[in-house]
Chain A
């Protein structure tokens, strides 16, 4: 199985989990990110996700390896979509296979926070009031 996937297509959460299972795992900690129908006080019709694909894949692979080493988990899979996504669709998924739950939860949180910091992917919210880029937690724009 490919442990890092960047795709326009939707994915099956069960499909990813079933490919990840192994004898060493006592826990599969899973995070699934969805398109929220409301953001920053506005209704959202859909979102568009842009990706710098080559760099994003390399960054995701580095985060995966860092998480496995740092937390000693068995396996990490990351799927992230791009393109046009409707409200409630899957945006991304992280699955961490671990011997036990503590390191599984910690590794999953670590992977998510690192993605939000450093993987070159951007969301644009398409709303009745116009289109708005979401710019990281550090707010790129001065206004």
Chain B
């Protein structure tokens, strides 16, 4: 499908609105800076590819979370080198660039704690921190709301224990 200028402009606006989420999700799933850049590129390209087929039965946020998290989990798991959601690097530069940012110690501590969680639990915690309700998290994850509640309790305990031991 040929992209029109209007679509490109819409996509840029949309990307501007979700760039922080992409950067944070990529940080949660990739510690390595170079790998993180690749992941951000992958997420952006997946969003770009899916943009014309946006399914409006879901909220834009649900749609974005699903693509970002699916791409990140697959990237992390490296399910296969021929992964369905993996795309080749775009060689002409980076669509999303991150300039050197200031280090927030609390945030780094939080990232380190999240890093200890399993891939699916990482997704749940990201959605929780983004302010999603159990129902919204369940919709993004494709799990039941009660499952999400149970997971959240366990995740909370794991994070708590991490923060206590690293005090």
Q: Do A and B bind each other?
A: no
